[in-house]
Structure 1
Amino acid sequence: MTLPAPTAAVLIIGDEILSGRTRDTNLNTLARFLAALGIDLLEARTVGDRAGQIIEALNALRAGHDYVFTTGGIGPTHDDITADCVARAFGVALPEHPDAVAILEKRYGAGEFNAARRRMARIPEGGSLIANPVTDAPGFQIGNVFVLAGVPKIMTAMLEDVAPRLRTGAVVHARTLKVSGVGEGDVADILTAASQVARAVSFGSYPFGHGSTGEVGTNLVIRGRDEAAVEAAASGLLADLTAAGIPAAAVI
């Protein structure tokens, strides 16, 4: 029996994201990372540096998905409260992890390893460290939750240590048909009919060029885990568009 694909959610934490001062790119990075492993990212939430919201969101997400990835809030300052919230969500203590202390002591040295930096050595009881090859300060995993840094370069680097811990699934294949000079409304009926025939795959419609002086059109995307079914559905849709007098081109 084939197991269903693992599912995942992302919890982005930080007032700086909600205020607009910082542009989030971590969600896109995680989406691509998970897609390559055949893991379906089904949900993403963004919350500020408020303990109640973080705990509530984390408990909901970890109950509903195989994996949860959090980004942000594990630095040395007073508003870095993610570790505290994760410990409270799991109902465990938040002691200093001896391996994290050793890593940070080596990084900073006795004179620079102050109380603020020691905060980054606190790991919820039962958690395991996630390596940080950029600045050394580790993330951690507890249960199905992976707690990662908010800085994109560091978060991305941490994924190397995360990948081997995940159960993978079949990769989703995708094909795109680019329809130039035609809006979504002009292809909606054709797309609906195709989706009713090829039920093993999914169809999406994504307009481009609106509000600019450039090319206007629609990208039609077919996705599925069975590559042959995706190819057949794309060929069928292309034939339907051609028969309707709508020019389309396959995009690799």
Structure 2
Amino acid sequence: MTDIVTAAMIVIGDEILSGRTKDKNIGHLAEMMTAVGIDLKQVRVVPDEEDEIVAAVNALRARYTYVFTTGGIGPTHDDITADSVSKAFGVPCEYEPRAYAMLEANYASRGLEFSEARKRMARMPRGADLILNPVSVAPGFRIGNVHVMAGVPSIFQAMLDNVVPSLRTGARLLSTTIPCPYGEGTIGGPLAEIQKAHPDTIIGSYPKYLDGKFWTELVVRSRSQEAMERASSAIEAMLSEIAKAA
């Protein structure tokens, strides 16, 4: 079986933590990773503070195959992601020649000053590769296994489209859903035994409430079709036994 490939995400920005901005990037990344067989294992939201960003980057890049960051690569004083990632890798943060030239040409074509603030968007860790931005030109960057991208959803999504083809992917996680007419209190015990008997699956239990009644949506996930079907059959048998005893 293909090796399991993992990822983590760092969402950077005081505006996310304050609630002024509602994140739209986590769900999109999760969907994209699932589609290509990469397990998104963790998401952290951190403030615009260098020490917090450095700690998160170093912790997650050591643990997961890929790390994706969003936010903090704009032109203002609080956009400190490039500096923080540079510090995490122990390299200088400096103007990247290609990024600088792209931005300079873009602002010239629009008759706008290439100000010191705008030049900040060409700064990145020494040795980083560009992640192209087809929406607003200002690029993201990749260093090691860390991919640094914009927080604006349309730009993040466009950058991610450019990144995904370069990633090592794994076996896709298959899933099937089994509706269960009983609440978790009824099925909790036997469901735990089924999970224990089928360690090559992940069984999720999601309580629902409709028309005054609790019911449960059961989701079985596995990288093996056969394993998923075996666990599903065990769940179906368990539900039949409960129905007989009712």
1:23-102 matches, within 5 Å, as 23-102=22-101
Corresponding residue number in structure 2 for 1:241: 239
Q: TM-score, normalised by structure 1?
A: 0.91
1:126 touches 1:142 (CA, 8 Å); kept in 2?
Answer: yes
What RMSD, in angstroms, separates the aligned Cα atoms of the two structures?
A: 1.7
1:151 aligns with 2:149: no
**Residues of 2 paired with 1:207 and 1:32: CA distance?**
22
Q: How many residues align?
A: 242
Gaps of 5+ in 1: 247-252
1:1-252 matches, within 5 Å, as 2=1, 4-109=3-108, 111-180=112-181, 182-209=182-209, 216-245=214-243
In structure 2, relative to structure 1, the CA distance for the partners of 1:239 and 1:91 (3 Å cut) is same
**Structure 2 counterpart of 1:177, which letter?**
I
User: Going by fraction, where is strand more abundant, 1 or 2?
Assistant: 2
Q: 1:214: Cα distance to partner? A: 6.8
Moved more, 109-118 or 146-155: 109-118
CA distances 1:5-36 after superposition (whole Å, capped 9, x unpaired): 11111111000010011111211111111111
**Residues of 2 paired with 1:115 and 1:237: CA distance?**
62
In structure 2, relative to structure 1, the CA distance for the partners of 1:19 and 1:213 (3 Å cut) is farther
Q: TM-score, normalised by structure 2?
A: 0.93
Q: 1:200: Cα distance to partner? A: 1.6
**Residues of 1 paired with 2:214 and 2:27: CA distance?**
25
Identical-residue share of aligned pairs (%): 50
1:222 touches 1:230 (CA, 8 Å); kept in 2?
Answer: yes
In structure 2, relative to structure 1, the CA distance for the partners of 1:16 and 1:214 (3 Å cut) is farther
Structure 1 ranges of 4+ moved more than 4 A: 212-215
CA distances 1:47-77 after superposition (whole Å, capped 9, x unpaired): 1001111111111111111111111000111
Q: 1:213: Cα distance to partner? A: 5.6
1:22 partner SS: coil
**Residues of 1 paired with 2:232 and 2:185: CA distance?**
19
**Structure 1 counterpart of 2:59, which letter?**
A
**Structure 2 counterpart of 1:131, which letter?**
L
**Residues of 2 paired with 1:82 and 1:146: CA distance?**
11
2:92 touches 2:125 (CA, 8 Å); kept in 1?
Answer: yes
In structure 2, relative to structure 1, the CA distance for the partners of 1:239 and 1:11 (3 Å cut) is same
